[in-house]
Amino acid sequence: MARWPAPGRCKRRLAASCGRGAAARVQQRLTAHTLGAARQGCERAGARLVLAADGLGPRALRRWGAALGSQQAVAQGRGSLGTRMQRQLRRGFAAGAEAMVLIGTDLPELEPADLAEAFRQLQDHPLVLGPAADGGYWLIGLTRQGMARAGCRLMAGIPWGTGAVLERTCTAAAGVGLRPVLLVCRHDLDHIDDLRPWRR
């Protein structure tokens, strides 16, 4: 899931400390890195790579997706982050997917093996989460069975953008009898200080 890297339309928290133009350039690099790693990870797992984007029209979206190497590009649509993620999950499962993994594009540490491992875990478990150092998560993976059991509950009432996202999601999962497999903890990139490890 990505935003078109235009100044003022992406990475607003980062832009507050380094400027809208610089934030857009960071977003562009992050998106290219994420799609490259995701493409390799999907190839290892035998999965289809879909770019769900926001901020541009249908034709431009298809061109952007093709340039980034995705096999399909779709609009995220309106609503909160939870609503947009639910929409992508419903779309994928309705199209016949047996397992789905969602990630954002603010992950400078993302490696192809991360995606391959998520799909590997989904062979035996209905829910996989990648914890983020800020208390959120950088990846959510669900099987068709997991989606049927959890429905919208994993993303309903979640205080997005806070340090309580992972905890609240795990609580919601427990409420429907799901115990998530947790992957390696990763740092996402939202603030100027988050750039320091990436510069090395």
pLDDT at 169: 97
Structure tokens at 192: 């100027």
Question: Across the chain, what does the average pLDDT equal?
Answer: 88
pLDDT at residue 10, rounded to an integer: 57
Q: How confident is the model at residue 56, as a pLDDT?
A: 86
pLDDT in the model for residue 11: 60
> Does the pTM exceed 0.85?
yes
Query: In this predicted model, what pLDDT tens digit does every residue of 86-100 receive, in sequence order?
Result: 999 999 999 999 999
The CATH number assigned to the domain holding 43 equals: 3.90.550.10
Q: How far apart are CA 5 and CA 20, in angstroms?
A: 10
Q: Residue 102: name the closest of 38, 158, 186 by CA.
A: 38
| Domain encompassing residue 128 | 2-199
Please state the domain count of the chain. Answer: 1
Give the residue carrying structure tokens 């901020």.
Answer: 55
The closest alpha carbon to 135, from 160, 109, 172, belongs to 160
Angle of helix 58-68 relative to helix 20-45, nearest 10 degrees, comes to: 60
SS3 144: helix
Pick the range with the lowest mean pLDDT from 105-119, 165-179, 180-194: 180-194
